[in-house]
Structure 1
Amino acid sequence: MSQGVDHFFYTNFEILPDPRTKDWFPVTNFNLAVVLVAAYLIFCLFLGPLLMKNREPMQLKNSMAGYNLTMVLVSAYVAFESFMGGWGTHYRFFCHPIGAPDDKNSLRMAKAHYVYFVSKFVELMDTVFFVLRKKYSHITFLHVYHHGVVVLMAFCSLRYLPDGHGTLIVLLNSLIHVIMYAYYFLAGLGPKMQKYLWWKKYLTSMQLVQFLFTLSHAAVVFHPSCNYPKPLVIVLMINSGMFLLLFANFYRKSYKKEKNEEGESHIKSKKSKKNK
Structure 2
Amino acid sequence: MENQTEYQLSELSFERSFDEKTAIEWMQANWTHSIGFSALYAVLVFGGQHFMRERPKLNLRRPLILWSLTLAVFSIVGAVRTGWYMLNFLSSSGFRRSICDQGFYYAPVPKFWAFAFVLSKAPELGDTVFIILRKQRLIFLHWYHHITVMLYSWYSYKDMVAGGGWFMTMNFCVHAIMYTYYTARASGVRVPRPLAMLITGAQISQMVMGVTVTALVYRWMQHGDCPSYPENVVWASLMYFSYLVLFARFFYRTYLKRGGPPPVKAAKRD
TM-score normalised over the length of structure 1: 0.76
Q: After the TM superposition, which residues 1-276 of structure 1 pair with which residues of structure 2 at under 5 Å, given as runs? A: 21-24=23-26, 28-46=29-47, 48-89=48-89, 90=92, 92-96=94-98, 97-99=100-102, 106-135=107-136, 137=137, 139-161=138-160, 164-190=162-188, 193-194=189-190, 196=192, 198-221=194-217, 222-223=219-220, 224-225=222-223, 227-230=225-228, 231=230, 232-257=232-257, 259-260=258-259
Deviations 1:108-131 (A, max 9, x none): 333211111111111111111111
Q: Which runs of 5+ in 2 are unaligned?
A: 1-19, 261-270
> Distance between the aligned counterparts of 2:105 and 2:235, measured in 1?
28
Q: Whose Rg is larger?
A: 1
Report if aligned partners of 1:87, 1:168 keep a CA contact under 8 Å in 2.
Answer: no
Report if aligned partners of 2:31, 2:154 keep a CA contact under 8 Å in 1.
Answer: yes
> Distance between the aligned counterparts of 2:175 and 2:105, measured in 1?
26
> Distance between the aligned counterparts of 2:88 and 2:240, measured in 1?
23
Shift of the 130–71 alpha-carbon distance from structure 1 to 2, 3 Å rule, reads same
Deviations 1:52-82 (A, max 9, x none): 2332111110100001111111111221232
> Distance between the aligned counterparts of 2:54 and 2:40, measured in 1?
22
Report if aligned partners of 2:102, 2:160 keep a CA contact under 8 Å in 1.
Answer: no
| SS class of match (2:96) | coil
The one-letter amino acid of 1:170's match is M
Deviations 1:208-263 (A, max 9, x none): 11111121222222135461134223321221011101111111111244x447xx
> Distance between the aligned counterparts of 2:176 and 2:163, measured in 1?
22
The more displaced of 53-62 and 67-76 is: 53-62
> Distance between the aligned counterparts of 2:88 and 2:55, measured in 1?
50
Q: Which runs of 5+ in 1 are unaligned?
A: 1-17, 262-276
CA-CA distance at 1:195 after TM superposition = 5.2
The one-letter amino acid of 1:251's match is F
Report if aligned partners of 1:95, 1:226 keep a CA contact under 8 Å in 2.
Answer: no
Report if aligned partners of 1:68, 1:181 keep a CA contact under 8 Å in 2.
Answer: yes
CA-CA distance at 1:188 after TM superposition = 1.2
> Distance between the aligned counterparts of 1:250 and 1:205, measured in 2?
10
Report if aligned partners of 2:75, 2:172 keep a CA contact under 8 Å in 1.
Answer: yes
Deviations 1:130-156 (A, max 9, x none): 111111x2x211111100011000101
> Distance between the aligned counterparts of 2:235 and 2:105, measured in 1?
28
> Distance between the aligned counterparts of 2:93 and 2:106, measured in 1?
10
Q: Percent identity?
A: 24
Report if aligned partners of 1:68, 1:185 keep a CA contact under 8 Å in 2.
Answer: yes
> Distance between the aligned counterparts of 1:71 and 1:195, measured in 2?
19
| SS class of match (2:151) | helix
- For the aligned residues, what is the CA RMSD? 2.6
Report if aligned partners of 1:166, 1:233 keep a CA contact under 8 Å in 2.
Answer: no
Shift of the 195–179 alpha-carbon distance from structure 1 to 2, 3 Å rule, reads closer
